[in-house]
Amino acid sequence: MTWDRRHLLDVDEMSVDDLSDIMRGAERMQQGLSDLGEPLEDELCDARVALLFAEPSTRTRISFEVAARNLAAETLVLEAASSSLVKGESLVDTVRNLDAIGIEMLVLRHHRAGAPWVAARYFGGAVINAGDGWHAHPTQALLDLLTLREAFGIEGGEAVEGSLRGRKVVVVGDVLHSRVARSNIWTLTAAGAELWLCGPSPLLRGFDELSRSMPADRRFTVTDDFDAALRDADAVMALRVQRERMAKGAVSFDDYVTGYQVTEARLGRARPGAWFLHPGPVNEGIEVTRGVARGPRSLVLEQVRNGVPIRMSVLARLQRPVRPVPDQASSPTRDLSSALR
Ligand code: CP
């Protein structure tokens, strides 16, 4: 099923039906099936998909490329560091040029919040946000939702609405600077999870207000009390500690590790069998011990694996641009061939 929208900029613009549709699509794609239940072939037949990454990435970049190729798209990678952006060309001009070349889908990661929205104004095709500043990381939130659904044994095809009701999910760490946390707030509360955001209080600034601004049935708890957050938790998602920001003194690095590192002992205070998640990159020994990160309750690599079917499901749903068909009677090819006759 194709959506009637061109872009995927954030999950907060998606309805719960859209979320269900993405989950069902991803579950089918895990089985190598199209939305029609037929073997996957060439859903994006020769579409030109450009990946423009103006910030480092391993998981998102590679899994978007694998996802696009699995759907028979042609992928083109533009590394910002080797593009004309370093010569001072603006993002807007870069996007206009990619459009002129005939790129149909643009997967964009950018250090500036809002960059994908700017790109979408100037690009004739589909723009997919692969992470913008602290702001949003929609496909990460979607793959996290798929991973939790699978871990909790939710049947493929079940609607998202209410599917995590009764499940307590804790997101712990540098929430303030996390685009993953911001996008997960939307998807996890849409699924009805009891969501807790936890970390040192300077790294939770503004989230109480955000919770109060949400509809009553989508509010979440914000706390610096990790023990309270862990009690009865079904899943704990740690966020990357952004050393560069810790170094600026918002929170002491040592205090963070002492108070908020996810250890075996702490995970043991959650509900028996609680899952551990992390969007990556993981700093083992900092936000989590190696034992937890690589242990039997860790879903870290499952999250990475699920990145491919989720991104396939997204790419397959976005509308491709309808490019003007050249007028055959006046096309240069026609003129040239008659001149050669
Ligand atoms: N989770 C995530 O966005 O990882 P990358 O930065 O490696 O893409």
Q: What is the pLDDT of residues 222-263, one digit of tens each?
A: 999 999 999 999 999 999 987 766 657 678 888 999 999 999
Single-letter residue type at 34: S
Residue pair 288/276 in contact by the 8 Å Cβ criterion: yes
- Quote the tokens at residue 310: 């989720």
Phi, then psi, of 184 in degrees rounded to 5: -65, -30
Residues 159 and 197: their CA atoms lie apart, in Å, by 25
Residue 93 has pLDDT above 90, yes or no: yes
pLDDT tens digits for range 131-187: 999 999 999 999 999 999 999 999 878 999 999 999 999 999 999 999 999 999 999
Q: Note the pLDDT of residue 332.
A: 35
Which of 53, 55, 58 maximizes ligand 1 atoms within 8 Å of its Cβ, making it the mutation to test the pocket? 58
- Ligand 1, atom 4: closest residue by C-alpha: 59
Residue 279 CA, closest ligand 1 atom number: 1
Q: Which stretches does DSSP call E strand in the chain? A: 48-53, 74-79, 105-110, 126-132, 168-172, 194-198, 221-223, 235-238, 275-277
Residue pair 125/106 in contact by the 8 Å Cβ criterion: yes
Q: Separation of 134 CA from ligand 1 center, angstroms?
A: 13
User: What band does 335 get if pLDDT is binned at 50, 70 and 90?
Assistant: very low
Residues 119 and 115: their CA atoms lie apart, in Å, by 6
Which residues line ligand 1 at a C-beta cut-off of 6 Å?
57-61, 131, 140, 279-281
Stated as kind and residue range, the H or E segment containing 185 is helix 179-190
Residues 261 and 292: their CA atoms lie apart, in Å, by 10
Q: Separation of 71 CA from ligand 1 center, angstroms?
A: 22
